[in-house]
Amino acid sequence: MKITHEERVQFLKAHNELKDMLMTIHECSDLWISDVRKLESLEHLLHNTMKFVPDTDAEGRPKYYADYVLEELEEKD
């Protein structure tokens, strides 16, 4: 898998936002509501770029509550 420069820049931005959120949590024992949106954006970035997908049950329905798997592994099942 190759990651483009633009994707690396997105990960760098996400990393720095994550670092800032963790510092706030540690220093203030609090979490800003806007940080929840940033966490969801980071999750979306990981899903799309790294091709993480929800596992599926026996009927092929996604199990969003379970751990995600690599897309290529899901396609083989």
Rounded-to-integer distance, Cα 68 and Cα 62, Å: 10
Rounded-to-integer distance, Cα 44 and Cα 36, Å: 12
Rounded-to-integer distance, Cα 66 and Cα 64, Å: 6
In total, how many domains does the chain have? 1
Indicate the residue type of 26.
H
Residue in 56, 40, 15 with CA at minimum distance from that of residue 71: 56
Averaged pLDDT score across all residues of the chain: 90
Domain of 9, in residue numbers: 5-76
Two tokens at 63?
Answer: 């199990």
Full-model pTM: 0.75
Give the distance between the most distant pair of CA atoms in the chain. 46
pLDDT surpassing 70 at residue 14: yes
